[in-house]
Amino acid sequence: MSDIVERLRGVAHTYDEHGMHSEIELEAAAEIERLRAAMHDLAGHVWRGDWDKLKPETRELLGEKA
C-alpha cells in the first residue's frame, strides 16, 4: 500500500503561488493520520471473538496478514 500521507506531504505536489504546500494537502494528511490513529484505538477494543466479523479490508489495514 502506498502511503498517501507521505505523498500528500511530498515535494512533487501542488504548491501555492509562494512555493508553499497547498494548505488542503496538509490538512488532508493530518486528517488521515487522525483517522488512522482512531481506527487503531477502536480496534484495541474489539473482542477477538468478533474480529472475524470485520471486513477483510479493515483487518488488513490494521495489520493482520492474510
pLDDT digits (tens, 9 = 90+) for 17-50: 666 666 777 788 888 899 989 999 998 898 888 9
Contacts of residue 25, defined as CB under 8 A and 6 or more positions apart, other chains included, come to 8, 9, 13, 14
The residue among 11 and 31 whose pLDDT is bigger is: 31
Asked whether residue 62 carries a pLDDT value surpassing 70, the answer given is yes
Burial class (CB in 10 A: 0-12, 13-18, 19+), 8: buried
Indicate the domain borders of the chain: 4-61
